[in-house]
Amino acid sequence: MNITDLDTPTLVADLDVLERNINGMAALCDQLGIPLRVHTKTHKVPEIAKLQVAAGSQGITCQKLGEAEVMVDAGVDNILIPYNIVGKPKLKRLTALTKRAKVIVALDSAETATGISQQAIADDCVVPVIVELDTGSGRCGVQSPQKAQRLAQQIMKMQGIDFQGMMTYPSNLRAKPFIEETLDLLSSDGIPVNIISGGGTGSEAASKEIGCTETRSGSYVYEGMTRIGNSEMLTPERCVLRVITTVVSTPTPERIIIDGGMKTFASYPPTPYGYIIEHPDAKIYGMSVEHGHVNVSECSHRFKVGEQLSVIPLHQGMTSNLHDELICVRDNKVEAIWKIAGRGRVK
């Protein structure tokens, strides 16, 4: 099937760009001497995770337990969940998962550690855990090396969980003193640290410099090796995804409507909401729920109803989460169809 034969709107991946991004990050981390643990929350596709592992990633990262379950079902068996797992339903799923694969979980409180410990004891298993440090993200994480030490001390006294180390996000030089002081405090207690996990696409060198034993990178797989900050960086050479759309209305010479809106792309600022490959001067300036509003006043081309346009979405990870399947193409020919098996798995 040719790409022009597809019904629209549909999500398409350029396999040549995908493979180049995957191999490029693997080569970079190999050159830096930092093990890579890819983050799959951007794509949520088991087939892509397997390609990343085959290229050299030592395992994967899943932001939510539901994503991890999908990956284990597909045969990926080395997973870090850098997220606090809280509540009986999730804890029972976590312990069940640890019996099927190597799963490590991050946490930042004694309450979360206690919950995991109690469920692990009840289900006769041991869950490896790492402590998250807040080194500047202002999100989760303990707030000082002393609090990290105290939490590690508490974990060491609990049954059913196994302290493995620490993690931070994003990796940057500000994290180095925090990590080094935490290591000194844990060493004084005789607590071994096997894992120091850093993260963030573009921070691989920083992960190495601050002493991490692995680095977590994710958005690169769709968006190239440098994190995208605006629509000017959306180029076919670095971006994997295209939403193939159809022009469904040409109300004025200056404006056309395409058959993809918020439920196709995600309405994610800033505008324009994507890059139209065939006509870069056309700008998606607004979106309704199912309509894309495109300003074509700077285009010499006269658009017609039924014409197809290929749009690189501004936030490819959010767009991917709205679709059931990914159409994989090479040289405009459909080569495979992959299920986005982790989409919607927010629990």
pLDDT tens, position by position, 149-207: 999 999 999 999 999 999 999 999 999 999 999 999 999 999 999 999 999 999 999 99
With vertex at residue 145, the alpha carbon angle to CA 142 and CA 150, rounded to the nearest 5 degrees, is 75
**In terms of C-beta density within 10 A (0-12 exposed, 13-18 middle, 19 or more buried), how is residue 333 classed?**
exposed
Distance separating alpha carbons of residues 36 and 59, to the nearest angstrom: 8
What H or E segment, with its residue span, contains residue 208?
helix 204-209
Q: Tokens 């191999």, residue?
A: 23
Structure tokens at 271: 């505008």
Mode of pairing for the β-strands spanning 283-287 and 78-81: unpaired
Q: Which residues of the chain have pLDDT under 50?
A: none
Distance separating alpha carbons of residues 214 and 303, to the nearest angstrom: 49
Distance separating alpha carbons of residues 316 and 339, to the nearest angstrom: 16
Which of 262, 307, 316, 317 is closest to 282 using CA atoms?
Answer: 307
From the centroid of its chain, how far is CA 64? 11
Which of 333, 319, 318 is closest to 10 using CA atoms?
Answer: 319
- Give exposure, 114-130, as e/b (b: 16+ Cβ within 10 Å): bbbbbbbeebebebbbb
Structure tokens at 305: 């109803």
pLDDT reported for residue 63: 97
Q: pTM to 2 decimals?
A: 0.96
Domains, the chain, in order of start with CATH, read 3-11+239-339 (2.40.37.20), 15-223 (3.20.20.10)
